[in-house]
């Protein structure tokens, strides 16, 4: 199995215009990943799948990551090979421009069918939009839901219906607010 650096060099030779960088993983697992620019991501992914030495025909895991401090979202793909089962995973990452209006990434569902539901999940929970996805709908949340609950800054809406039960603190909360003290002159004073 090639190291991430070797793979980066080989990909860069194949796609000179593409942005490809190694994201090192400092932990003991040492599963380094390749950061791909969105413009060439699908071409690179196709190459990874069809290259006979790699034959990464199996995309196991697709997920989103919300990097709140850095200000972007990431889609992470874990690739393995079933034709040449050895080592792995090869991890590729795609980054959005920001977390608000530039959240579109190319869908890799045309390359690996296993991305279909998992990209839908990343869209549903993280709000990453996958261009050219065949069926980009919410998958776990209901269709009318508006926000993306796996974002780090997600705030639960305060709209739960609740019904007071006979506990003191609940009843106290349920009691209508006390009427405001009367303003203006007291009754009976002549104008």
Partner 1 sequence: MSASAFPPPVPPGPQVRAVTDEFHGDLLEISMGPHHPSTHGVFRMQATLDGETVVKLKPVFGYLHRNHEKLGENTSYLGSMPYTDRLDYFCAMTNNWAYALSAEKLAGQAVPERAEYLRVILAELTRLLNHTCLAGFLLQDTGASGTPLMYAFREREKILDLFESLSGSRMMCNFQRFGGCRTDAPADWLARAGQLVDGYGAFLDEFEALITGNEILLARTQGVGRLSAALAVSAGVTGPMLRATGVAYDLRKVDGYGIYPRFDFRVPLGDHGDTYDRYMIRVLEMRESIKILHAALREIPAGPVMDPKAKLRGFRPKPGEAYGRIEGPKGEIGFYLISDGGANPYRYRVRPPSLVNLTILEDLCLGHTLADTVVILGSIDIVLGEVDR
Task: Classify each residue of 15-42 as buried b or exposed e, where b means 16 or more C-beta atoms within 10 Å of its C-beta.
Answer: beebebeeeeeeeeeeebbbbbebebbb
Stretch that binds partner 1, among 12-20, 35-43, 61-69, 167-175 (CB under 8 A): 61-69
Q: Which two tokens stand for residue 64?
A: 């989103």
Q: Is 60 in the site for partner 1 (CB under 8 A)?
A: yes
Q: Which is nearer to partner 1, 112 or 130 (CB)?
A: 112
Question: Total binding residues for partner 1 by CB under 8 A?
Answer: 36
The least CB distance from residue 121 to partner 1, in Å, is 8
Q: Which two tokens stand for residue 164?
A: 């007071």
Interactions with partner 1, residue window 118-177 (CB under 8 A): 118, 121, 125, 134, 138-142, 149-150
Q: Interface mask (CB under 8 A) for partner 1, residues 94-113, using x and -?
A: ------------------xx
- Shortest distance (Å) from residue 60 CB to partner 1: 6
Tokens of 78: 């874990």
> What does the alpha-carbon distance between residue 87 and residue 32 come to, in Å, rounded to a whole number?
13
User: In angstroms, how far is the first alpha carbon of the chain from the final one?
Assistant: 95
Of 124, 79, 70, 115, the residue nearest 97 (C-alpha): 70
Torsion of CA 92, 150, 115, 58, to 10 degrees: 50
Least distance (Å) from partner 1 to the CB of residue 161? 18
Record the tokens describing residue 22, joined without a space: 């190694």
Q: How far is the CB of 29 from partner 1 (least distance, A)?
A: 4
Name the residues that contact partner 1, by CB under 8 A: 25-29, 31, 57-61, 63, 65, 76, 78, 82-83, 85, 89, 91, 112-114, 116-118, 121, 125, 134, 138-142, 149-150
């Amino acid at each position: 199995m090639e190291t991430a650096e070797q793979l980066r060099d080989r990909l860069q030779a194949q796609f000179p215009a593409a942005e490809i960088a190694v994201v090192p993983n400092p932990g003991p697992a040492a599963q380094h990943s390749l950061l791909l620019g969105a413009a060439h991501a699908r071409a690179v992914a196709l190459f990874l799948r069809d290259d006979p030495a790699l034959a990464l025909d199996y995309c196991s895991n697709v997920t989103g990551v919300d990097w709140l401090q850095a200000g972007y979202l990431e889609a992470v793909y874990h690739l393995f090979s079933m034709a040449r089962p050895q080592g792995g995973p090869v991890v590729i990452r795609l980054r959005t421009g920001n977390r608000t209006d530039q959240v579109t990434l190319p869908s890799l569902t045309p390359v690996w069918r296993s991305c279909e539901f998992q990209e839908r999940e990343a869209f549903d929970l993280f709000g990453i939009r996958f261009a050219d996805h065949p069926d980009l709908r919410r998958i776990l949340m209901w269709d009318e839901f508006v926000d993306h609950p796996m974002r780090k800054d997600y705030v639960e809406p305060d709209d739960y219906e609740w019904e007071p039960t006979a506990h003191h603190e609940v009843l106290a909360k349920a009691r209508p607010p006390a009427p405001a003290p009367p303003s203006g002159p007291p009754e009976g004073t002549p104008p």
